[in-house]
Amino acid sequence: MYEIHGYSYTKARKLGVEIFSATNPKKKIDVYKDGYLVASIGDNSYYDYPSYLKLYGKEFADERRKLYHLRHKNDTGIDGFYSKELLW
C-alpha cells in the first residue's frame, strides 16, 4: 500500500481536492473534488517524485521529474493532469 507523502497533500490543497489511499490496489491515490471521485492515479509499481526524494535525494528526483514531464507533455486527460500535479 502506498504511503501518501506530505508533498502530495500540499499540492492537493492548492488544487482544491482531497486525496486518499486508492481503493484499487494497483493505484496509489484516489482524488476527490466536491465529494466525488474524479481520478485514481499513480501506478503502484512505479516511483514518483516524493518517493525518489526520500530514497535518492533532490538532484536525482529533479532529474526524474524532468524526464517524467517530457514523456507526458501531451497528456490531456484528467488522470494525467492529477498525476502530474500531485505526484510530480
Q: What is the sign of the dihedral through the CA atoms of 4, 55, 73 and 26? A: negative
User: Strand ranges (DSSP E) for the chain?
Assistant: 18-21, 27-33, 36-43
Segments making up each domain of the chain, as ranges: 6-87
Record the pTM: 0.90
Report the distance separating Cα 20 and Cα 31, nearest Å: 7
Q: pLDDT tens digit string along 14-40? A: 999 999 999 999 999 999 999 999 999
Q: Is 90 exceeded by the pLDDT of residue 10?
A: yes
Q: What does the pLDDT look like over 41-85, one tens digit per residue?
A: 999 999 999 999 999 999 999 999 999 999 999 888 999 999 999
